[in-house]
Amino acid sequence: MFLTCHKRTKSIMTFIFLMICCSAIGFCSESCRKGDIYKDTQNRFEVICPAEKMDVDSYGVYFEDEKNFSSYLIREYDAPPLRRNVALSISNVLSDIKSMMASQSKIDVLKEEAFIYQGHEAINFDFKYQQEPPIYYYTRLIKTDNFVLWIYLSMPSGPEAVIITNESEATIASDIANKFFESLKVLK
């Protein structure tokens, strides 16, 4: 009995030690400090946390910066979200995202450009979501062998607005989005 309890205590202490070590080196799982690295629980990606408030589900992770009224999201799709029976491609996932957003309110496309990101097919897709007040989405879709990642920054500031960040830096929304996008590392 003592030996079993001792093994259990040793296991618990090892687990606590590993959690403390992971925190100290800047990796996080269910919570994150801004600037730490969040590693997806399914080992699909890792990203630098853009904000401390976060929520995790089976599709990815969501961060919220309440001070700057900004939301950051990373979603993984292994099939297009609305039409699961069609081929997995950026264009099919993007088409479904446009349909989902347009079903709620009108969207104005600001930019749609294809490129290569870390050796993967990618598209930057920025749009304005027509609600009151309007919300601007700075998004990127990345196609890997097994899934499409949809990452975005949404905020009430348009492409020309100057933003003063929490770090007292003056910047524009697309620069904040690009910093977030470039911090993403595709793992699979």
Q: For residue 95, what pLDDT is reported?
A: 94
Q: For residue 166, what pLDDT is reported?
A: 67
Spans of the chain, pLDDT less than 70: 1-31, 166, 168
Measured between alpha carbons, how far is residue 124 from residues 33, 87, 105, 135, 141 in Å? 27, 20, 21, 17, 7
Least Cα distance to 164 among 69, 71, 68 occurs for 68
Q: Give the global pTM.
A: 0.77
Q: For residue 30, what pLDDT is reported?
A: 57
Least Cα distance to 135 among 126, 124, 145, 122 occurs for 126
